[in-house]
């Protein structure tokens, strides 16, 4: 008794209407890898940066404020977390050029704002 090779390929079987049984993926796999970034916004008001991150999350989102140094490299100036109730946080900063990076977590991609100048 030897191995019997079938002359019917998978493509031919599919064309004849014999579908393949594919096991369903778990519900968590539908969101991985995440495709949507968080909506990250920053408004400069005087010497403060107001950060808004959407959609709302029960524990809030982590963010980092980056400052551009003299060599045009971005370094982390401050880190923080938004309030879970409204998704806002206000941070006081020194004069310079800043941008905000918002971490999306397991279900969202990270977001980053354009840079703005604090005078």
Strands (E), 61-106: 62-68, 74-81, 88-92, 96-102
Question: Each residue of 63-115: pLDDT tens digit?
Answer: 999 999 999 999 999 999 999 999 999 999 999 999 999 999 888 999 999 99
pLDDT reported for residue 15: 63
pTM of the model: 0.72
Q: In the chain, where are the structural domains located?
A: 35-118
As a whole number, mean pLDDT of residues 47-60 equals: 95
The candidate with the shortest Cα–Cα distance to 79, out of 95, 61, 62, 67, is 62
Peptide bond before residue 33 is cis, with ω within 30 degrees of 0:
yes
Model confidence pLDDT, tens digit, residues 6-49? 555 655 655 666 554 555 555 555 567 888 999 999 999 999 99
Residue 5 confidence (pLDDT): 55
Does CATH number 2.170.190.11 belong to domain 35-118? no
Contacting residues for 118 by C-beta, under 8 A, at least 6 apart: 44, 47, 49, 93, 94, 95, 96, 97, 98
CA distance 14 to 54: 44
Q: Kindly state the average pLDDT of the residues 45-70.
A: 96
Q: Which tokens sit at 77?
A: 């100036």
Location of structure tokens 């977390």: 81
């Amino acid at each position: 008794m030897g191995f019997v090779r079938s002359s019917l390929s998978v493509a031919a079987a599919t064309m004849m209407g014999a579908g393949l049984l594919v096991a369903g993926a778990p519900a968590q796999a539908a969101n991985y890898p995440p495709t949507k970034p968080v909506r990250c916004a920053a408004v400069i008001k005087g010497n403060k940066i107001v950060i808004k991150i959407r959609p709302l999350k029960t524990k809030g989102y982590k963010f980092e404020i980056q400052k551009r140094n003299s060599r045009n490299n971005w370094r982390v100036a401050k880190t923080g977390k938004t309030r879970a109730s409204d998704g806002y946080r206000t941070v006081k900063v020194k004069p310079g050029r800043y941008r905000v990076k918002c971490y999306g977590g397991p279900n969202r991609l990270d977001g980053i704002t354009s840079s703005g100048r604090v005078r």
